Amino acid sequence: MNPNMAYYALETKIATKKGRILNKSTWEKFLDSPTVDALINHLKENEEFGKAFKDIEISNLDRNNLETVLEKFKTLEVENLLHYFSGPYKDFIKAVLVEGEIKDLSLILRKLSREESLEGIEQRFVHSKIFTNLDFDDLLTSKNIDQFIQKLKGTLYYNSLRNLTKEIAIQREFHIEMKMYVALYKVICEKASKLKKEDMKAAIEIIGLNIDLLNIQWIYRALKFYQISPEEIFIYSLEGGRTLGYNRLRKLCYSTLDEFKKLTNDYLRYDFFKNAADDINVVIDSYMLNYFKKNNYNNIGTALAFIYLLNIIVNDLTSVTEGIQYQVPKEKLKEYLAYKI
């Protein structure tokens, strides 16, 4: 028995949560919602999703605010899981939880680079206020990017951002986010190395898969949309992938878009580009969702798989929200979801 993880209680808790979150009849209601307000009402009625709406007035919600609530839902769910861990296991899950900080730091950077006011921006924050080591109140007093970066000294983000200029922040938002992910995943892998052998193996496997998929997404975007060199694409890529090691990753970064598609399919033995019209993000989420269906864990992998499942669900609900707003037919909207109903 692992004294740092109440596994059987955790397994039961996650099974219950998944039953509430992945209820097909509930999702049919989501898709049948005639308006975003109707969707919000259905979400509030759900025992899991409804927790994120506590103390939030429905009249104050629009599509963008709803997306923030959905991200907060994910944070709340992971915070709840932390009660089942202690010691290095709790440290590991807390490191995974830090992803919300990157979203909020990126939001502040965007505002500062565009010389927009930071007033009220905290309402859009999704990071864990309980477990963060950052002083967001102090960060919000920043008048410009230089001040903001100086306030990050001593954090895992400083080295990634210390040479950032206003011009780079404006032109390369996604690049900057990837640099912060590089720093974060180094910490996550370090924390994973402190786990027991079986748990470490499962954690590295799932994290490695996620890194591979993040790199595919990044390199695809870089090749298709950004005018940057292969060297830069490689620098911004994440280390520690399960299948895409150094040599394969470098080869992908130095390929053409067509070569990249072929190599990706060969390396992961999956056709990510079968339908050119498919959104790469949905294809990647579908791949990970199918992976979790085929692989069961009797260790910390259970919790980690659930955390990444939450990412997929939030992405799908964001797509549902957009589809409802733009009156996309229900059957067509289903095609944009990784979770197949």
User: What pLDDT score was predicted for residue 176?
Assistant: 83
C-alpha to C-alpha distance for 76 and 73, rounded to whole angstroms: 5
Q: Is the pLDDT of residue 58 over 60?
A: no
Q: Is residue 341 part of a domain?
A: no
Domain count for the chain, please give it: 1
Q: Is residue 310 part of a domain?
A: yes
Lowest mean pLDDT: which of 58-67, 268-277, 289-298, 328-337?
58-67
Q: Is residue 340 part of a domain?
A: no
Residue among 82, 29, 57 at smallest CA distance from 307 = 82
Grade residue 262 by pLDDT with cuts at 50, 70 and 90: very high
Grade residue 236 by pLDDT with cuts at 50, 70 and 90: confident
Rounded mean pLDDT, 1-16: 93
End-to-end CA distance of the chain: 37
- Of residues 334 and 175, more confidently modeled: 334
Q: Is residue 202 part of a domain?
A: yes
| Encoded tokens for 316 | 């799908």
Lowest mean pLDDT: which of 58-62, 108-112, 140-144, 280-284?
58-62
124, 68 in Cβ contact below 8 A?
Answer: yes
Q: Is residue 339 part of a domain?
A: no
Q: Is residue 93 part of a domain?
A: yes
Q: Please, what's the b/e burial string for 19-30 (b: 16 or more CB within 10 A of its CB; e: otherwise)? A: eebeeeebbebb
Q: Is the pLDDT of residue 254 over 80?
A: yes
Q: Is the pLDDT of residue 91 over 90?
A: yes
| Encoded tokens for 255 | 């390929």
pTM, to two decimals: 0.93
Rounded mean pLDDT, 295-302: 94
C-alpha to C-alpha distance for 244 and 211, rounded to whole angstroms: 9
Q: Is residue 179 part of a domain?
A: yes
Residue with tokens 């986010």: 177
Q: Which domain holds residue 65?
A: 7-334
What are the CA-CA distances from residue 161 to residues 149, 150, 177, 180, 240 (Å)?
Answer: 7, 10, 10, 8, 21
User: What pLDDT score was predicted for residue 61?
Assistant: 66
Q: Is the pLDDT of residue 56 over 80?
A: no
C-alpha to C-alpha distance for 177 and 169, rounded to whole angstroms: 10
Q: Is residue 28 part of a domain?
A: yes
Per-residue pLDDT tens over the stretch 173-210: 777 888 899 899 999 999 999 999 999 999 999 999 99
User: What pLDDT score was predicted for residue 191?
Assistant: 97
Beta bridge partners of 85: 5
Rounded mean pLDDT, 217-224: 93
Per-residue pLDDT tens over the stretch 152-178: 999 999 998 888 776 666 666 777 888
Per-residue pLDDT tens over the stretch 114-146: 889 999 999 999 999 999 999 999 999 999 989
Lowest mean pLDDT: which of 123-137, 223-237, 302-316?
223-237
Grade residue 65 by pLDDT with cuts at 50, 70 and 90: confident
User: What pLDDT score was predicted for residue 143?
Assistant: 94
Q: Any long-range contacts for 232-235 (C-beta under 8 Å, 24+ apart)?
A: 232/175
Residue among 65, 56, 204, 198 at smallest CA distance from 126 = 65
What are the CA-CA distances from residue 193 to residues 35, 94, 172, 199 (Å)?
Answer: 47, 14, 32, 9
Grade residue 321 by pLDDT with cuts at 50, 70 and 90: very high
User: What pLDDT score was predicted for residue 204?
Assistant: 96
Grade residue 219 by pLDDT with cuts at 50, 70 and 90: very high
User: What pLDDT score was predicted for residue 15?
Assistant: 96
Q: Is the pLDDT of residue 265 over 70?
A: yes
Q: Is the pLDDT of residue 285 over 70?
A: yes
Per-residue pLDDT tens over the stretch 29-41: 999 999 999 999 9
Q: What percent of the chain has pLDDT over 90?
A: 82
What are the CA-CA distances from residue 180 to residues 137, 186, 266 (Å)?
Answer: 20, 10, 29
